[in-house]
Chains A and B, each alone.
Chain A
Amino acid sequence: MSWWVWLLIAVVLVVAIWYLSSQAGRLDRLHRRVDAGHVSLQAALMRRAAVAAEVAGEMLPDPSSAALIAEATKNARRTAESDDVTRSVAESELTLVLAGVFDDQESVQELSEATDGELLEELASACRRVEMSRRFLNDAVRACSDVRQQPLVRYFRLAGRTPWPQAFDMADGPPEGFGVR
């Protein structure tokens, strides 16, 4: 074979190796973003449960609502180590209870003036963080799945043994009483 065939093969090989290694690097970066997303969502959910428990402990806004919140919080905490579906159900339940209790902006305003406004502010922030973290996680999962679906990435098993990224599904809208734009 003449020299240019060898050259062509060499060039193709170099380009292929460069492409595959850059895709592998990209995939690695995306997997790390997904992992960070899970850590962040987990932290956000735990914080929300902790703040909600504190709100319930203060008997806010009234004893029966507080009991509901306490119950939902306990459930969410108990399932923190369970599978995604169980967790999702429990966390969504807490979202619904909080949304049901803090459903009116004016009342929340009055309550926060009458009591510890900082605690309610923290709960509002904790709820927002859950929503944001979940959105950012699912964004990362989508970007990562897009790359993993590429035929070359699949054929050369660039993802190795890393499990397929999992989105987390739950109801996460913050209560209307905390002011929704």
Chain B
Amino acid sequence: MSGPLNIGIVCPYAWDVPGGVQFHIRDLTAALTAEGHQVSVLAPADSDEGLPDYVTSTGRPLAVKYNGSVARLNVGMRSTKRIRNWIRDGEFDVMHVHEPIAPGVANVAVWSAQGPIVATWHSSIEKSRALNASFYLAQTIMEKVRGRIAVSELARRTLVTHLGGDAVLIPNGVDCGTFTEAEPFEGYPGPGKTLFFLGRAAEPRKGLPILLAAMPAIIEQNPDIRVLLAGPSDPAEIKKKLPQDVADRLNFLGLVSEEDKVRAFHSADIYVAPNTGGESFGIVLLEAMASGTPVLASDLEAFRRVLDGGKAGAVFENENPEDLARVANALLADSQMRADLQEKGRHRAWLYDWGRVTKEIVDVYRSVRTPGEIVTEDFRGQLGGRFARRSGWRSDSNEATADAAEVSPPGAVS
């Protein structure tokens, strides 16, 4: 029931290009290995150099036009062969595929395998052409997947709307341990209290203008308040439009390292997240909570969920600077309330810790397996694929992608 598992993870995107899915798989692999499981990752990569031992490359991805933009995908006969070899030689107890509907490695891996297969959906794409064009393929792939995971409520909803059925919700993990302790910046948080904002200043949906608009009312009640701002910004440009009294209190850190981000959390009395939309999940909120910094956030659905409906962090009405100022002032005046949020926030963040998230993912692995079962190659899938390709179902972009990769000169693939 609880022996270590031999797990094969499939990443559809190039391993040597930084991205959310790649980081997720890297962290998950580390956590699984720490629990004693054996993990092998299959992913496209530009070169074999510098790849971790656990990564098997399917070859170099090609830049092809797909879904209106240029994507780097890895579909071709050579990579298909590598995928099949990996499945055959791996003898995995479970195969865990990420973004299985994305054309390329993940798609082909599910097509070529049978047995205990688990898939994770990351993106929350609105009605996507990719999903429509390849509905037949998507359905066949879905039917092979025994356990579905969605990383956010939005991703789950996309999945349910477009493909039907259901998924278990297991979010991205936070490495809580790295946030618990840090040295605050010199002179912070200071007796006059400090607020912290993190995000690209020029991006309106990160909500910096809302916070700045609320500042005069906050200063009125907290004359010595200061604001730390991290993320790419043009301080002169921002200060130009502000009253002198507000501009003087802003301290721009610019783009910060992971380490300085943790220090900034520990340098602040309140972390403010005035985002106005477009957030599917509030990972930064959790990082603040893990650091023990009380959170004040706009009442976006995703944020409310992370904050346990407002119990583990304070919320204000989205895009309303007056409400932000009101809640911030109440929070700054009440040390008991801050301590309470700090405590509850810490507890809450641990529910999203990689340790806990990994346990749940392993629970998924174990619930899709019957004892002794392993993942094997599916030859019928291959035959079906050949048939499908010849029976007029080749007009969609998926197949065009596959063909483009197959007819490319050998030099481009190797």
Q: Once bound together, how far apart are the Cα atoms of A22 and B143, in whole Å?
A: 14
A47 adjacent to chain B (CB < 8 Å) = yes
**Which residues in chain A, 10-43, are within 8 Å of chain B measured between CB atoms?**
15, 18, 22, 25-26, 29-30, 33, 36-37, 39-40
Contacting residues, chain B, for A106 (C-beta < 8 A): 347
A129 adjacent to chain B (CB < 8 Å) = yes
Q: In the complex the two chains form, is B171's CB within 8 Å of A181's CB?
A: yes
Contacting residues, chain A, for B360 (C-beta < 8 A): 128
A132 adjacent to chain B (CB < 8 Å) = yes
Contacting residues, chain B, for A136 (C-beta < 8 A): 146-148, 367-368
B69 adjacent to chain A (CB < 8 Å) = no
B4 adjacent to chain A (CB < 8 Å) = no
Q: In the complex the two chains form, is A132's CB within 8 Å of B356's CB?
A: no
**Which residues in chain A, 122-181, are within 8 Å of chain B measured between CB atoms?**
125, 128-129, 131-133, 135-136, 138-140, 142-143, 146, 179-181
A105 adjacent to chain B (CB < 8 Å) = yes
B370 adjacent to chain A (CB < 8 Å) = yes
Q: In the complex the two chains form, is B367's CB within 8 Å of A29's CB?
A: no
Contacting residues, chain B, for A36 (C-beta < 8 A): 146, 368, 370
Contacting residues, chain A, for B363 (C-beta < 8 A): 125, 128-129, 132
A150 → B minimal CB distance (Å): 12
- Dominant secondary structure of chain A at its interface with chain B: helix
A44 adjacent to chain B (CB < 8 Å) = yes
Q: Total interface residues on A, using CB and 8 Å?
A: 34
Q: In the complex the two chains form, is B164's CB within 8 Å of A142's CB?
A: yes
B279 adjacent to chain A (CB < 8 Å) = no
Q: In the complex the two chains form, is A105's CB within 8 Å of B380's CB?
A: no
Q: Once bound together, how far apart are the Cα atoms of A133 and B368, in whole Å?
A: 7
B303 → A minimal CB distance (Å): 13
Q: In the complex the two chains form, is B168's CB within 8 Å of A29's CB?
A: no
| Contact A143 to B165, CB < 8 A, known contacts A25-B380, A30-B143, A179-B351 | yes
**Which residues in chain B, 358-414, are within 8 Å of chain A measured between CB atoms?**
359-360, 363-364, 366-370, 380, 384, 387, 391
Tell which of B114, B148, B165, B384 has the most Cβ of chain A within 10 Å: B165
Q: Mark interface residues in B139-182 (1 if CB within 8 Å of A CB, else 0).
A: 01011101110000000000000001111110100000000000
Contacting residues, chain B, for A40 (C-beta < 8 A): 367-370
Q: In chain B, what residue has the closest Cβ to A144?
A: B143
Q: In chain B, what residue has the closest Cβ to A134?
A: B367
Q: Once bound together, how far apart are the Cα atoms of A164 and B356, in whole Å?
A: 37
| Contact A143 to B143, CB < 8 A, known contacts A129-B366, A132-B168 | yes
A180 → B minimal CB distance (Å): 8
B88 → A minimal CB distance (Å): 19
Q: In chain A, what residue has the closest Cβ to B362?
A: A125
Query: Which residue of the partner chain, among A30, A47, A135, A146, contacts B166 with CB atoms under 8 Å?
Result: A135
B interface residue numbers (CB < 8 A to A): 1, 114, 140, 142-144, 146-148, 164-169, 171, 305, 347, 350-352, 356, 359-360, 363-364, 366-370, 380, 384, 387, 391
A interface residue numbers (CB < 8 A to B): 15, 18, 22, 25-26, 29-30, 33, 36-37, 39-40, 44, 47, 105-106, 109, 125, 128-129, 131-133, 135-136, 138-140, 142-143, 146, 179-181
12 contacts across the A-B interface (CB closer than 8 A) = A29-B144, A33-B143, A39-B370, A40-B368, A106-B347, A128-B363, A132-B147, A133-B367, A136-B148, A138-B166, A181-B351, A181-B352
